[in-house]
Amino acid sequence: MKKFSVLLICAVIAMVMTACNGESENASSESKNEVSVWFHTSKETAEAKAMQDIVDQFNEENENGYTAKMEFIPRSGSGGGYEDKINAALTTDSLPDVLTLDGPNTAAYAKSGIIAPVGDYISNKDDLLPSIIEQGTYNDKLYAVGYSESSVGIFYNKQMLKDAGVDLSTLPTVEDPWTWKEFKELAATLTEEYDVPAVEMGLDTKSEWLMYAFTPFLWSQGGNIVNDEKTKATGTFNSDKSVQAMNFVQDLVAEGYTTKTPVEKGFQTGKYPLKLTGSWTIAEMANSYPDVEYGVMPYPTSPDTNELVSPSGAWQYAMAASTEKKEAAGAFIDFMTKPENLKKISLENSVLPASKSIIDEVKQEVSPQMQVLIEQNAKSGHARPVLPEYPQVSRVFQQTILDLTYPDKNDDIQKLLDQKAKEIDKALE
């Protein structure tokens, strides 16, 4: 009997150990196939909910048994929160397999070895907008893939323009844009009619907005911030073309067509007839100012080139260089950026589409104002410079725009740009 009891106990122990080993192997297999993902917004946002729906679909459909687990980490107002957690993870080597990052950060993350190239995993690269490829590429390798786009246009109050005698049928379109000269003529008419600066341009803040919204004027003139080798600004940022573009910006302030001290919500409340702003304002107008009838015009172009250029850029998916699950992470990013999933993000989060094949489908389901920005972005979207030193370069450009808003102190634009070019050169050293 005693011998039987011992044998029974041994058998039970063996069964338990076998079961535990089986569970351990299953858990290990699941862990090996599960991709960790950090996303930069609160899980309550429309963007996050749409993302989670697509992730759930990935988890159900992936043929290799790969799954993904999302962690939503909101950014704070100063850009902290999410970024703080990324920085902390870098010091402890605890980054997720996949993370999101803003377009201008691509080069710095890639150069530092934080993210790995993903181009070999993306099946629809040819369908992605050129601006998406441009912002995600560093040293000729695709490191990140944007899942949406953004753009900026000239928003206008239809009734205010009509009351000023403007024929709305003559306003510019993406197919037939306007020049800086024509823009200033309209601004002069409206400024005289309403005795206020005609267009609010966001000149009251030193932020990334100034880099994002004002570089298209430079690019339309044929200018740039740094040379093609991305090694120097002197000779480029202080070129004749750059001087002409910055002179146009300064003239808008000097002639009273815009202001560096705008009334808050001035366009939305009927104070200003025009506003330089982005796609995000469309949702604001629909939710908070539904009675305002407004339209959107494309960027004005340099009269020397007539080239329409508009800003672009958004958040992207990237693979951590430290991940040991490259195939699974690559499959996840590829799935999240397939056309049907990019369409879902565009429609549910009210953002511009990132791929060419869904443009017509998305346009059929959005407002006329959003249609203009989608068309403009597809035709003329231009990514910000992909530079490891981007934050420093952006700050210099922002200060350049702010300095231009004081014409009495900075009437010599060539001198100003000579100085700023040297500051950028120092950042690039």
Q: Could you read off the pLDDT of 362-394 as tens digits, one per residue?
A: 999 999 999 999 999 999 999 999 999 999 999
pLDDT of residue 326 exceeding 70? yes
Mean pLDDT of 408-427: 97
- Residue 383 corresponds to which tokens in the numbers above? 């990514």
DSSP E strands: which ranges in 334-401?
381-382
- Name the band, by pLDDT with cuts 50, 70 and 90, for residue 288: very high
pTM over 0.75? The answer is yes
Residue 174's pLDDT band, with cuts at 50, 70 and 90, is: very high
Same fold, 35-150+313-382 and 152-311+389-428: yes
Quick one: pLDDT at residue 78?
Answer: 59
Percentage of residues in the chain with pLDDT exceeding 70?
92
Largest CA distance in the chain: 109
Chain-wide mean pLDDT for the chain?
92
Instruction: Please state, in angstroms and rounded to a whole number, the distance separating the CA atoms of residues 142 and 146.
Output: 11
Q: Say whether pLDDT at 218 is over 70.
A: yes
**Structural element, H or E, at residue 409:** none
The β-bridge partners of 67 are: 34
CATH class, range 35-150+313-382: alpha beta
Question: Residue 335: which pLDDT band, with cuts at 50, 70 and 90?
Answer: very high
Of all helices (H) and strands (E), which one includes residue 316? strand 315-320
Tell me: pLDDT of 14 over 70.
Answer: no
SS3 state at 381:
strand
Mean pLDDT to the nearest integer, 10-37 = 53
Q: Look at residue 77 in the predicted model and tell me its pLDDT.
A: 65
Fold of 152-311+389-428: D-Maltodextrin-Binding Protein; domain 2 (3.40.190)
Distance between CA atoms of residues 24 and 127, nearest Å: 42
For residue 100, list its beta bridge partners.
317
pLDDT exceeds cutoff 60 at 57? yes
pLDDT in tens, 162-173: 999 999 999 999
Q: Give the containing element (helix H, strand E) for 12.
A: helix 2-33
CA-based R_g, the chain, Å: 26
Q: Cβ distance 383 to 133 under 8 Å?
A: no
List pLDDT tens digits, range 76-104. 765 679 999 999 999 999 999 999 999 99
Please report, as a single letter, which amino acid is at residue 178: W
- 122-to-117, 133, 137, 278, 368 alpha-carbon distances in Å: 10, 11, 13, 29, 32
In tens, the pLDDT along 230-252 reads 999 999 999 999 999 999 999 99
Show me where the domains of the chain are located: 35-150+313-382, 152-311+389-428
* Percent residues over pLDDT 90 in the chain: 90
pLDDT of the residue at 378: 97
